[in-house]
Amino acid sequence: MLEHAQTQQLNQIAKRLVEPGKGILAADESNATIEKRLAKINVPSTEENRRSYREMLFTTKGIREYISGVILYEETIMQSTHVGVTFVKTLEDAGVMAGIKIDQGTKEMEGSANEKVTKGLDGLADRLKKFQALGAKFAKWRAVITIGQGLPTRSNIVQNAKDLAQYALVCQQVGVVPIVEPEVLMDGAHDMARCEEVSQQVLEAVFEQMAAAGVALEGMILKTNMVVPGKESGQKATSAEIAEATLRLFESELPPTLPGQAFLSGGQSEVEATANLNEMAKRGPFAWNLSFSYGRALQDSALKTWAGKPENVAAAQKGLLHRAKMNSLATLGKYSDAAEQKAE
C-alpha 314/C-alpha 302 separation (Å) is 10
C-alpha 298/C-alpha 294 separation (Å) is 6
Residues 70-86: tens digit of each pLDDT? 999 999 999 999 999 99
Q: Of residues 181, 183, 279, 340, which has the active-site annotation?
A: 181
Q: Give the residue-averaged pLDDT of 93-116.
A: 97
Residues 220-259: tens digit of each pLDDT? 999 999 999 999 999 999 999 999 999 999 999 999 999 9
What pLDDT sits at residue 99? 98
Q: Of residues 137, 223, 253, 279, which has the active-site annotation?
A: 223
Q: Is 137 among the catalytic positions?
A: no
Q: Give the residue-averaged pLDDT of 84-113.
A: 97
Q: Is 223 among the catalytic positions?
A: yes
Residues 109-119: tens digit of each pLDDT? 999 999 999 99
> What are the residue boundaries of the structural domains of the chain, listed by start?
4-343
C-alpha 147/C-alpha 85 separation (Å) is 44
Residues 144-188: tens digit of each pLDDT? 999 999 999 999 999 999 999 999 999 999 999 999 999 999 999
Pick the CATH number of 4-343 from 3.40.190.10, 3.40.50.10740, 3.20.20.70, 3.30.300.180: 3.20.20.70
| pLDDT surpasses 80 at 343 | no
| pLDDT surpasses 90 at 1 | no
| pLDDT surpasses 60 at 344 | no
Q: pLDDT confidence of 92, banded at 50, 70, 90?
A: very high
What pLDDT sits at residue 14? 98
| pLDDT surpasses 90 at 2 | no
